[in-house]
Amino acid sequence: MKKYSANRISLFISAIITVLVVFILLIESLLGNYEILVFLSIPVFFILTYFIIWVFLNKFIYEKIKPLYRAIREPADRKKSMKERDEEPADVIAVAKGDIEKWTKKQIKELERLKDLEKYRKEFVGNVSHELKTPIFNIQGYILTLLEGGLDDPNINKLYLERAEKSVDRMISIVEDLESITKLESGEMTMKMEAFDIVKMTDDVFELEQMLASDRKISLEYARKPDRPVLVRGDKKRIMEVMTNLVVNGIKYGKKKGFVNIAYYDLDDNIMVEVRDNGIGIEEKDLSRVFERFYRVDKSRSREQGGTGLGLSIVKHIIEAHNQTINVKSIPDEGTTFTFTLEKAK
């Protein structure tokens, strides 16, 4: 980077002014024979010009640039001692220019981030409203029907009360899931770490969800079932929630006579769990958002399948609370694969 210090700028400007003035004086001296006087006055004129410009640059320009330069520096730089802050580089303009460009880029990124957060906030509020609105309106409709005479009709009073109860249960599920996510994000929900067999847990999940899988003609299977326990360390209850959510997700969005396949891979210190299905798949544009709250790839079909729309978000938070990662890959009409890691039990 070129150095444009006050000394160099002053020398450059003074030289140009001196050359111009000397040129003019030489022309005039040719008419009056003042060549000796002209050449004697050149050094004095140059020094005076240099001094005036140097004072001007330092006093009026650099003193204005330095506060601006310091104001836009990185927070870590602003924590320097006063002594260090006063020891600014001589080439303040060049350094300040570079820092201003960095600061500008940083502010642009921050504005983009805030816009994304605002967009996410609006979507989140809209989704919460939509998810709660349906059961609330259902409950309202059932209660109004009962109040308008349905309560005395034995054919509908119990039926409508049962339907109202289901809507209340759905609202409770949404609120409880939101509360779980909030606790996971804030760190209030601590993980109770213990060693357990992930294969045995998968067997339990398959057993619990076998009826749902049979209704949808989905087979629950292993890629290759290990012949001995696969011990991992984690919160058993929460990992059970993760496995159940991913298996149910594969069942609900699977094709008839399809499958949900589980596999385990040894990664030295970790075990990678793979949950794969051959269902409807997910478009590439939606993959980055599948773990967002209430985000539904196929909104109409998703609500028909039930659920709160918070399952995958909870899954992601639980895995991250274990200091592990979860990933998803998918091909539309071919299937989806979720993979997550857990610490191997010693």
Going from the C-alpha of 25 to that of each of 14, 47, 110, 119, the distances in angstroms are: 16, 17, 58, 69
Find where tokens 């050449």 sit.
Answer: 39
Please choose, from the candidates 289, 258, 294, 262, the residue with its C-alpha nearest in 3D space to the C-alpha of residue 275. Answer: 262
Task: Tell me the backbone φ, ψ of residue 64, rounded to 5 degrees.
Answer: -85, -35
Task: Please indicate whether residue 145 or residue 16 has the higher confidence score (pLDDT).
Answer: 145
Task: Please indicate whether residue 141 or residue 301 has the higher confidence score (pLDDT).
Answer: 141
Token reading at 307: 């659920």
Which of 13-22, 152-161, 310-319 comes out lowest in average pLDDT? 13-22
| Fold exhibited by the domain 104-186 | Helix Hairpins (1.10.287)
291: pLDDT confidence band, cut at 50, 70 and 90?
Answer: confident
302 with 296: CB under 8 angstroms? yes
Task: Please indicate whether residue 274 or residue 21 has the higher confidence score (pLDDT).
Answer: 274
Is residue 34 pLDDT above 70, yes or no?
no
The chain-wide mean pLDDT, for the chain, equals: 77
293 with 240: CB under 8 angstroms? no
| Fold exhibited by the domain 193-344 | Heat Shock Protein 90 (3.30.565)
pLDDT digits (tens, 9 = 90+) for 61-116: 666 666 665 655 555 454 444 444 444 445 555 666 677 777 778 878 888 877 77
pLDDT of residue 297: 64
pLDDT digits (tens, 9 = 90+) for 115-143: 776 766 666 666 677 677 878 888 888 88
Q: How far is 236 from 136, CA to CA, in rounded Å? A: 34
Task: Tell me the backbone φ, ψ of residue 283, rounded to 5 degrees.
Answer: -65, 150
240: pLDDT confidence band, cut at 50, 70 and 90?
Answer: very high
pLDDT of residue 81: 43
Q: How far is 22 from 35, CA to CA, in rounded Å? A: 10
pLDDT digits (tens, 9 = 90+) for 76-88: 454 444 444 444 4
pLDDT of residue 123: 65
Q: How far is 290 from 279, CA to CA, in rounded Å? A: 15
Q: How far is 139 from 318, CA to CA, in rounded Å? A: 32
Q: How far is 3 from 296, CA to CA, in rounded Å? A: 56
244 CB neighbour count, 10 Å cutoff: 17
227-241 average pLDDT score: 92
Is residue 173 pLDDT above 90, yes or no?
no
283-294 average pLDDT score: 82
187 with 320: CB under 8 angstroms? no
Task: Please indicate whether residue 63 or residue 36 has the higher confidence score (pLDDT).
Answer: 63
CB contact burial 114-132 (16+ within 10 A = b; e otherwise): eeeeeeeeeeeeebbeebe
Partners of 336 in the β-ladder = 277, 330
Find where tokens 């022309």 sit.
Answer: 27
Find where tokens 């357990």 sit.
Answer: 196
pLDDT of residue 181: 77
Do 193-344 and 104-186 fall under one CATH topology? no
1: pLDDT confidence band, cut at 50, 70 and 90?
Answer: very low
Task: Please indicate whether residue 88 or residue 262 has the higher confidence score (pLDDT).
Answer: 262
Q: What is the CA angle 298-303-307, rounded to 5?
A: 115
Domain boundaries, the chain: 6-90, 104-186, 193-344
Partners of 219 in the β-ladder = 259
Task: Please indicate whether residue 256 or residue 177 has the higher confidence score (pLDDT).
Answer: 256
pLDDT digits (tens, 9 = 90+) for 37-49: 555 566 666 676 7
Please choose, from the candidates 102, 100, 96, the residue with its C-alpha nearest in 3D space to the C-alpha of residue 4. Answer: 96
54-66 average pLDDT score: 65
